[in-house]
Amino acid sequence: MRNLAVAGLQLDLSPGDNVGRIAAEVAAAKRRFPWLDLILLGELAAFGPRAADAEPMPGPAEDRFREIARENAVWLAPGSIYERLDGQVFNTAPIIDPTGAVIARHRKMFPFHPYEDGVASGLEPTVFDMPGVGRIGVSICYDMWFPETTRALACLGAEVVLHPTMTNTIDRDVERAIARASAAQNQLWFIDINVAGALGVGASCVYGPGGEVIHEAGSGREVIVLDLDLDHVARVRDRGWNGLGQTLKSYRDGPDALAAHRAADGSSPGLAGLGPLRMPSARETIPAKKGH
């Protein structure tokens, strides 16, 4: 049996340096649950959403995360920090193994523009292998609003998606629906960990490969401990959830000319007329269409 023991830390955080708090919370979780394999935190948990604080990776923050992983002998997905690379800023989530080695870095593919101003887009979906467990995918917050991102992870073999989030707005309930649909559509475990306190509204969530609700958190600090069966994913993909839809097989065997996959350049009628991506202006009105 292939199992992943994971804790999602939904922490009540404030803007500023939270690395010391994160170190203490990771250590406490590993002391209480010594059988944990991996610990996941929310997006930008370490410092909050200030792109001006971006630093290189490797760099001081990532080095401290490496120490935390090594000290606690645990895989660590510490959310994300803003990374400065080649004159650009990325929202980047490192994945660190129990020896302190950086195994992967996921750069957010869809920054929350126009609000996440000045943040560049990552270009590749990210998966990594945990020996003896399976293949894990990573996405960050707004990434999941684009279903192709999670489908890409599933096509690369991901059986679990780690999804750090920072949401402090009224669309968190919608995000839960997207997370649940992502799990069902791609027949995988989907772990969406938000921040709480001054940085977010909490409401972290975990869904299974049939879209089943595993846990939906409240708004405050919460330690979400899970023991996930990855062989269950393989069975669901083979037989369907409760013997029902074999979604990934149907996707593999279905038409390869889906219009959405050919329209990323905005040439399709539904996308071409949308106008630029920009901040809404005050008291903005939408011009009436001709003939109305």
pLDDT tens across the length of the chain (292 residues): 899 999 999 999 999 999 999 999 999 999 999 999 999 999 999 999 988 889 999 999 999 999 999 999 999 999 999 999 999 999 999 999 999 999 999 999 999 999 999 999 999 999 999 999 999 999 999 999 999 999 999 999 999 999 999 999 999 999 999 999 999 999 999 999 999 999 999 999 999 999 999 999 999 999 999 999 999 999 999 999 999 999 999 999 888 756 556 555 666 666 667 778 888 888 755 555 555 4
pLDDT at residue 261 in the model: 61
pTM: 0.92
Count CB neighbours of 255 within 10 A. Answer: 7
pLDDT value of position 284: 57
205-207 and 213-216 beta bridge pairing = antiparallel
For residue 259, the model assigns a pLDDT of 58
Q: What per-residue confidence (pLDDT) applies to 142?
A: 98
The predicted structure's pLDDT at residue 265: 61
Residue-level pLDDT at 263: 58
Homologous superfamily, domain 3-254: Carbon-nitrogen hydrolase (3.60.110.10)
- In terms of Cα–Cα distance, which of 43, 46, 99 is closest to 69? 99
Using one digit for the tens of pLDDT, what is the confidence trace for 204-251?
Answer: 999 999 999 999 999 999 999 999 999 999 999 999 999 999 999 999
Where in the chain are the domains? 3-254
Residues 6+ apart with CB under 8 A from 4: 37, 38, 130, 133, 134, 136, 160, 189, 226, 227, 228, 230
Q: What is the pLDDT of residue 280?
A: 87
Rounded percentage of the chain residues whose pLDDT exceeds 90 = 84
Burial (0-12, 13-18, 19+ Cβ within 10 Å), 178: middle
